[in-house]
Structure 1
Amino acid sequence: MIRILLCTIVLFSVACTSSKKDSETVLFAGEIVNPTSDQVVLFKGGEKIDSAKLDSKNRFKFNLANIENGLYHFNLAPEYQYVYLEKGDSLMVRLNTIYFDESLVFSGTNEELNNFLLELFLSAEEEDRAMYAEYYEMEPQEFLSKISSLKNDKLKRLNELRAETAISDDGYELLAGNIEYTYNRYKEIYPFQHRRKTAEENIHELPKGFYAYRNTIDYNNKNFTYLRPYYDFMKAHFGNMSYMNCIKGCENRNFKTSKHLHFNKHKLQLIDSLVVEKELRDNLFRNVAFDYLLKRKDKPEYNEMFLNEFKTVSKNNMHIEEIENLYQGIANLQPSKVIPNLSVASFDNETRTLSEIGKNKKVMFYFWSGNNKKQYQEIFKRVAELKDKKPDHEFVGINIRTDYSDWKVILKNLGVDTRSQYHTDNYKEFTETLVIYPMNKAIITNNGVIVDGFSNIYYN
């Protein structure tokens, strides 16, 4: 019934056909139940291609001329999902935002490819949980057998799908790559998670051929650059190789600087030596920078040394401004610094600065977004607990990425004290200046002076 309804909608609204049109135009349309935004935005990699407003029936439509075949993603804030498009496609999507990925169904040309791609995404989420709950504890040979079984099952189904439908060679390569890199990533992670799970002192000895797939890794597949399993594999792969190379070649080194700095310089150099494709290279370098600067509480001088090394190996990185802003933001949030003098709006739409709010008292600033109901409900629940634990602190919430009027409605529905709630519509300035990664971030001040610029609301 769902398929019949979908095809009826497509035929009626976008003239869907079961075969591709002679035209090179791509028609991508859909219907959104319970929309969280009034528009759908289409991206190719990091570049915005187009946006489409929802009509009165919560439908959208893209007419796309002269676009490349390949992997795209569409965003309905705050969620996003893949879509694979080829010239001549007429593709429909229907989803309910309450169960975003689970409710999503494609219909039209290339529906089989896109539904299988979505199925791989959903099964990977389940298998990730099983890996950490059970599989990483297995002995190496048992683990390899489990991984091979899971992978071969999906490859078999992919080949059956290819025999039954007209999947293009590029589409098949994308799906096969998705499967291969998903399971190869688990192998890169296994030695470290196995040691953690079993409390073994050293990395477990692995059977010969455990990493045999490394001989066929394509470090420069432009079509895979924004394919999540490929990118996640690359992150795990470079982390694994950096650690192993360092253990073998640097174990007797007398670390005169931070071990974290030393290890992350290894990662930068490995990426530099193996990856040529510009976007993948830049994205991997960005990942190393964010991982080091945000997670490793090194001395400021080590952060500066890392940034200099980063600029040396990653010249003209497209993320350099973002990384420099992150570096500066971290420097400005060190203890004894005055909190950045950013402006926010009160519930009564009065402008105040963070310094004014924190004057003559101890304050914990915390952050939330109206786009994620579960997240902000948990944060307000945690704040209520902290008020009992820390009665000498004032707890000040700052909302980001929410329309001002929607923010006020949420606060009224929650029944919280609006006197300690503020709003900003400058998401980029706040996240970069206050280094709001992740959203659980908290900043503790005393009389406007920073006590802890990198606290976590759940670890207080």
Structure 2
Amino acid sequence: MRQDLLLLLTFFSLLSCGDTSDEPTDAWIGGEIVNPKYDYVVLMKDRQIIDTMHLDENNFFRYHIDSVEEGLYTFHHGEYQIMHFSPGDSLLLRVNTTEFDESLSYSGEGARKNNLLIDFFLQNERENQLLPQFYSLSPEAFEKKIDSLTEERKKFFDVYLKKEESSESFVDVIDANIKYDQLSKKELYIARHSKKMSGTDLQEIPASFYEHRKNIDYNNELLKNYYSYFRFLNRLFDNLAYDKYKNEESYDRYSYTHTKYKLGIIDSLVESQLLQNSLSRTNTRRYLLRAGDPEETQEIYSLFEKLNKDNADIAEINSLKQSVENLMPSKLIPNVKLVTVDNTLKDLRSAITKPSVLFFWTTESSVHYQNIHTKAAELREKYPEYQFIGINTDTHFRKWRSIVRALGYNDQLEFQIEDIENAQQALVLSSISKSLIVDENGIILEHHTNLFRPELETQLLGYINE
């Protein structure tokens, strides 16, 4: 495989050498996907698909961009990452899907800047994991701490610039990365000390701590799909939305109230249509996945339609809205097709013979499927009035069946989804942790719960006593 990678890099180098023009306008991308989940990779810019690149028999791909616009691109294969392209780049990547971000590396022309991008991304992820231990600091001490982290990154980039010639576009991206990662941390600190959490010592935050909000560019076209910028705006707007209702309700970023105010803030502060589209889609989707009231759902959808002008976004959110409305309490569970361990088909509704809790799992996470089956067994002992039905979301029948049998799961209560794409839409399977509670007739009682939530047992008891 390494030899194939070297051959591909040599191929790109020869192509670059063959370009006799002073200023190339094209670019190449290629590479290897280790443990691929699909047989293709998708290249996008500004949320628009440029092309779908198919993997060969050795899980390699290559693609030529005839006329490349300098800036940020994303490549998708289950997960996604950001890349920076300039005319003349010949990027070769290698990524292992089992550790997508951590394994991603580049070689070829344009590799150093993109390796720097992923290094900064991973560094920020590590810093965010450490961040909660700094929340107890005073605002002054917290600011000093994150300023020191920011200064380290600036120094690192200064050293890079002395060694590498960089375009203005790339410098702007890295400067924004440093700036908005720092400001995101400040917004997280503000959030931590503005939510009335029991048992928490809240810090009094001085006005000076909010100074950064006076100089925010809400319409940066270069960064419109860059995670550092997009994440900062989302965190800022969450805090601004909470300020609107903090005296009436507790903080809940998934609630109708929060989403309503947040969409209003996006409408008032963001003028870029592309940013409005992205932000309204993300936040409306987040709300819908937990929505439980038809009237509130329609109101949020109407606000979304006012903001979003992308036809694909509108179609996606409208489809999700319809699926969510079909899953609301008092509705009949969608009758998706299931596969039994005997490899026969069974309707979901026919599998429900008494009040039931439906939970989902995948063979890709052994820790999760073992934990959730252990939890289901505990709950089954405590609440024999309910069936606990395990539904597998994979497409590998034999692998699923072998796990069910090897671990001694009740094969009368274990099924695999027959058409995962249809079921994901019908059951709104946005998270493997999701569970549903239905009565003996398949009428939905709870459409978005979780076996590990403390309130689940309260819900189960409540329906028993009705």
Per-residue deviation, 1:165: 0.3
Per-residue deviation, 1:426: 4.2
1:302 alignment partner in structure 2: 296
Aligned length: 442
Of the structure 1 ranges 15-24 and 121-130, higher mean CA displacement relative to structure 2 is found in 15-24
CA distance in 2 between counterparts of 1:413 and 1:352 reads: 20
- 1:366 is aligned, of 351, 359, 370, to 359
Alignment of 1:74-153 (within 5 A): 74-77=75-78, 79-132=79-132, 134-153=133-152
Q: 1:36 to 1:296 in 2, by over 3 A?
A: closer
State yes or no: 1:266 paired with 2:261.
yes
State yes or no: 1:320 paired with 2:319.
no
CA deviations on 1:225-259 (whole Å, 9 max, x unpaired) are 22111111111111212233556xxx6x99xxxx9
2:335 alignment partner in structure 1: 341
State yes or no: 1:425 paired with 2:390.
no
State yes or no: 1:408 paired with 2:401.
no
1:14 alignment partner in structure 2: 12
2:189 alignment partner in structure 1: 190
State yes or no: 1:290 paired with 2:285.
yes
CA distance in 1 between counterparts of 2:308 and 2:98 reads: 41
CA deviations on 1:82-120 (whole Å, 9 max, x unpaired) are 222222111112233333322222111121211111111
Q: 1:368 to 1:73 in 2, by over 3 A?
A: farther
Unaligned runs of 5+ in 2: 457-466
Q: 1:391 to 1:260 in 2, by over 3 A?
A: closer
Q: Which amino acid aligns with 2:280?
A: F
SS at match of 1:153: helix
Per-residue deviation, 1:195: 5.0
CA distance in 2 between counterparts of 1:373 and 1:29 reads: 32
State yes or no: 1:55 paired with 2:51.
no
Q: Which amino acid aligns with 2:392?
A: N
CA distance in 2 between counterparts of 1:383 and 1:220 reads: 48
CA distance in 2 between counterparts of 1:177 and 1:159 reads: 14
Q: 1:200 to 1:207 in 2, by over 3 A?
A: farther
Of the structure 1 ranges 191-200 and 206-215, higher mean CA displacement relative to structure 2 is found in 191-200
CA distance in 2 between counterparts of 1:146 and 1:6 reads: 46
TM-score by length of 2: 0.83
Q: 1:314 to 1:28 in 2, by over 3 A?
A: closer
SS at match of 1:334: coil
CA deviations on 1:259-299 (whole Å, 9 max, x unpaired) are 954443322222112212222211211233234344465x4
Of the structure 1 ranges 388-397 and 61-70, higher mean CA displacement relative to structure 2 is found in 388-397
TM-score by length of 1: 0.84
Q: Which amino acid aligns with 1:92?
A: L
State yes or no: 1:64 paired with 2:65.
yes
1:40 alignment partner in structure 2: 41
Unaligned runs of 5+ in 1: none
SS at match of 2:452: coil
Per-residue deviation, 1:148: 0.8
2:204 alignment partner in structure 1: 205
2:463 alignment partner in structure 1: none
Q: 1:182 to 1:280 in 2, by over 3 A?
A: same
Q: 1:158 to 1:373 in 2, by over 3 A?
A: farther
CA distance in 2 between counterparts of 1:207 and 1:353 reads: 59
CA distance in 1 between counterparts of 2:152 and 2:438 reads: 54
SS at match of 2:209: coil
Is contact 2:273-2:309 (8 Å) kept? no
Is contact 2:338-2:416 (8 Å) kept? yes
Is contact 1:35-1:58 (8 Å) kept? yes
Per-residue deviation, 1:196: 5.6
CA distance in 2 between counterparts of 1:325 and 1:218 reads: 33
State yes or no: 1:240 paired with 2:239.
yes
SS at match of 2:281: helix
Per-residue deviation, 1:174: 1.0
Q: Which amino acid aligns with 2:321?
A: Y
SS at match of 2:222: helix
Is contact 2:40-2:54 (8 Å) kept? yes
CA distance in 1 between counterparts of 2:349 and 2:259 reads: 36
Q: Percent identity of the aligned residues?
A: 31
CA deviations on 1:197-249 (whole Å, 9 max, x unpaired) are 985889643234323222332211222122111111111111212233556xx
1:449 alignment partner in structure 2: 443
